Amino acid sequence: MSRQQRQALDEMLRHGPLDLGGEVAQQRALFHEMMTSIPLPPDVKTTEGELGGVPVVTVETPTTDPASVLLYLHGGAYVIGSAADAAGLAAEVSRRTGARAVCVDYRLAPEHPFPAAVDDALAVYRALLDDGIPSSAIAFVGESAGGGLVAATLVAAKDAGLPQPASAAVFSPWADLTVSGDSATSKTAVDASLTPEGLRTRARDYLRDTDPTTPHASPVFADLTGLAPLFIQVGSYEVLLDDAVRLAARAAEHDVHVELQVWPEVPHVFQAFAALLDEGAAALDAAGAFIRARWADGADTSGE
């Protein structure tokens, strides 16, 4: 059953209209249409708002406990996507954790290059803390570029002297904007979603003249000492496989609690296809369990 599911999903992705490296306005419209083509379940509530001067969309499900928060960062290579586009996947994580998801509508490149996305994510985190939500009741979650942005924001929070959240979970993180991992070459034929050329185009949009090895842009080059416990999932059919593996290795090198799951023969951010792919639902269950366990065990989130 699962192999048939994977093959059907691969065909759907390969023949889809999205071109990551294509003209920005067109790709934004296509991505929005793709992400919103399936309506949200009727029991999912979304509310637009603002935190720290940054637009957010809060996603709630019937089991939501207002005392705990997922700070959710969407994907889209820093150039496309939105908080509203991410509501479906954020809702699935919300169901599995019992926490409301605050999806950050961070500014996009090329109109707003680095470090706008990091600044916005950090501003929302700071606002949550200022609203009285303890860091121990917050988890960061992100997918693709949002996964890399989660790691970058953790580093930025540490550098700003803020406490770390209880945990962070990232799906298929884009954590190296040099696009220099071996999988950028070795996995090109099997990746149905991303190309290294498209990633490099979007990296130029985001970075402009910034060195792509800058830690707040590419956290695989950062000092990750003191970061929150980190949970990383990636598919083996991804050009970003090495980003996930190297991020996990970097975290381990710096004594961070890190768990890495590599799911065989599944595509980029396969969790978003949980309705079509058994592995997607199972991966979300595992991510939810990791987040809940960090809240339950009272892990030290001081970052010291």
Number of helical H runs and strand E runs in the chain: 9, 8
Question: Of 135, 136, 167, 268, which is the active-site residue?
Answer: 268
Whole-number Å distance between alpha carbons of 176 and 250: 12
Question: Is 268 annotated in the active site?
Answer: yes
- 261 forms bridges with which residues in the sheet? 233
Give me 139's structure tokens: 């988890």
Question: Is 254 annotated in the active site?
Answer: no
Question: Is 167 annotated in the active site?
Answer: no
CA-nearest of 262, 261, 263 to 279 is 263
Q: What is the 3-state secondary structure (H, E, C) of 235-304?
A: ECCCCCHHHHHHHHHHHHHCCCCEEEEEECCCCCCHHHHCCCCHHHHHHHHHHHHHHHHHHHCCCCCCCC
Tell whether the torsion through CA atoms of 257, 138, 262 and 73 is positive or negative.
Answer: negative
CA angle at residue 84 from 79 to 86, to 5 degrees? 75
Question: Of 60, 92, 143, 238, which is the active-site residue?
Answer: 238
Question: Of 136, 144, 167, 183, which is the active-site residue?
Answer: 144
Active site amino acids: 144, 238, 268
